[in-house]
Amino acid sequence: MKEYRDKPTEFHAPSEAEIKARSKRNVAIAIGLAAFMIFVFVTMIARGG
Amino acid sequence: MAAAQNNTNIKAVSSDAAFNPSGLSLAEPRDYFALMKPRVMSLVVFTAWAGLMLAPGSLPLWKAIASITCIAAGAGASGALNMWYDADIDAQMSRTKKRPLPQGKMNPNAALGFGIAISAASVWMLYIASNMVAAALLAFTIFFYLVIYTMWLKRSTPQNIVIGGAAGAFPPMIGYAAVTGTITVDSVLLFLIIFMWTPPHFWALALYKAGDYGKVGIPMMPNVAGAKSTRLQIFVYAVILAVVSLAPIHTGLGGRVYAVAAVLLNLGFLALSFKVWQSRAGEKADAADEASLYAVTKGDRAARNLFLYSILYLFALFGVLAAEALLGA
């Protein structure tokens, strides 16, 4: 069966600065989530103990 | 019809302002950090730590670190929500126009989402790390700062920072409650010290930034009651602050070292407040009259000195109080 998909009609390639800012945000989110996860585990385990 | 269309256009422009054609924003992690008002957060961390040290009993180190982290994150989140709501006036004030939202680096919804998420996480984690009382106080502080101060009082009454100052006064009480799970006379005293410190601290700033606040219609005391009345009120609050800050000596919260430090710090605060009261800070100088121009500039300098000293005062007062408790224990 043939698929029909819309092609982007107004695609704007992101600039270097935008890509750089996004990468930094991604790294910060990853670090933040990892820290939060460790925080939750430590807190829960210590509380349980 | 045309007006409605115009409004729609303005709304569309403002909500898309932070986005480039690609749909990506230029906001970096440091912009999100700036959204949390790091300088205010440092004062919150310090006073919360002092509250934690002064409470009878102790917390395991990791719990103390977790509690202070949560209090700092909650304060930062309320700062982000404040910047989200105040983006319109921040753009017009010299002191705040370089914040991430007025600069158009970030979409307002991103700031709102960030503030809500961090608020929820910090309150919940503080509950897990310490207790219900501390978590409830943190939740109330965030609510008070955003709804009572930012949304209601700030734009409607010159008493905005007097009542709103309560939000900044809660952190030591939260730190204290994290250890004890209660609110005591001593923790209320810590609250009262910051509560009475806030008006002279902010009004000193407002005196030499009166034009900034007036431009955006914020009813700060100098713009409403006038510079002369504000200067007198600064001195009155400095006297009340001196009395309140000496109260910990009577309850046993502060010892001899604190007594000496508090007397000296208050003498400095009173002297600088008196100087501001007697000055012409916050007035409009007559450009043609050199003497008047000199007097107002000198007065503004006195207000600036009081503003800077007030920050040092709070750090020193809480520092000595906590250090004495720490070394005495």
Chain B contact for A41 (CB, 8 A cutoff): no
Chain B contact for A33 (CB, 8 A cutoff): no
Question: Mutating which of A16, A39, A45 best tests the B interface, going by the most B Cβ atoms within 10 A?
Answer: A39
Percent of chain B at pLDDT exceeding 70: 94
The Cα-based distances of B198 to B85, B189, B314 in angstroms read: 22, 14, 10
Angstroms from B22 CA to nearest CA on chain A: 5
Torsion of CA B137, B66, B253, B162, to 10 degrees: -40
Element (H, E) at B126: helix B108-129
The per-residue pLDDT for range B186-195, each reduced to its tens digit, is 999 999 999 9
All residues of chain B having their beta carbon less than 8 Å from the beta carbon of residue A28 are 29, 32
Residues for chain B: how many in total?
A: 329
CB pairs under 8 A between A and B: 49
Chain A contact for B21 (CB, 8 A cutoff): yes
Q: Lowest-confidence range among A28-32, B58-62, B142-146, B229-233? A: B58-62
pLDDT confidence band for B241 (50 / 70 / 90): very high
- Residue B14 pLDDT: 45
> If you average pLDDT over residues B5-15, what whole number do you get?
41
Task: List the structure tokens of B193.
Answer: 């010290």
- Residue B258 pLDDT: 96
Query: What is the pTM assigned to this prediction?
Result: 0.85
The per-residue pLDDT for range B250-277, each reduced to its tens digit, is 999 999 999 999 999 999 999 999 999 9
| Sign, Cα dihedral of B198, B203, B204, B208 | positive
Angstroms from A1 CA to nearest CA on chain B: 33
Angstroms from A26 CA to nearest CA on chain B: 9
The per-residue pLDDT for range B114-131, each reduced to its tens digit, is 999 999 999 999 999 999
Angstroms from A7 CA to nearest CA on chain B: 15
DSSP secondary structure of B235-285: HHHHHHHHHHHHHHHHHTSS-HHHHHHHHHHHHHHHHHHHHHHHS-TTPPP
Angstroms from A21 CA to nearest CA on chain B: 5
The per-residue pLDDT for range A1-49, each reduced to its tens digit, is 666 677 667 778 888 988 999 999 999 999 999 998 888 888 777 665 4
Chain A: residue whose CA lies nearest to B27? A21
Instruction: Report CB contact under 8 Å: A14, B62.
Output: no
Rounded Cα distance between B263 and B239, Å, is 12
* Residues sharing a CB contact under 8 Å with residue B136, sequence separation 6 or more, in sequence order: none
- Residue B130 pLDDT: 92
- Residue A47 pLDDT: 64
Rounded Cα distance between B236 and B273, Å, is 9
- Residue B57 pLDDT: 87
Instruction: Report CB contact under 8 Å: A18, B26.
Output: yes
Instruction: Report CB contact under 8 Å: B66, A44.
Output: no
Q: Which residue in this structure is represented by tokens 């001593």? A: B186
Angle at B184 between CA B183 and CA B188, to 5 degrees: 85
Instruction: Report CB contact under 8 Å: A39, B66.
Output: yes
- Residue B58 pLDDT: 84
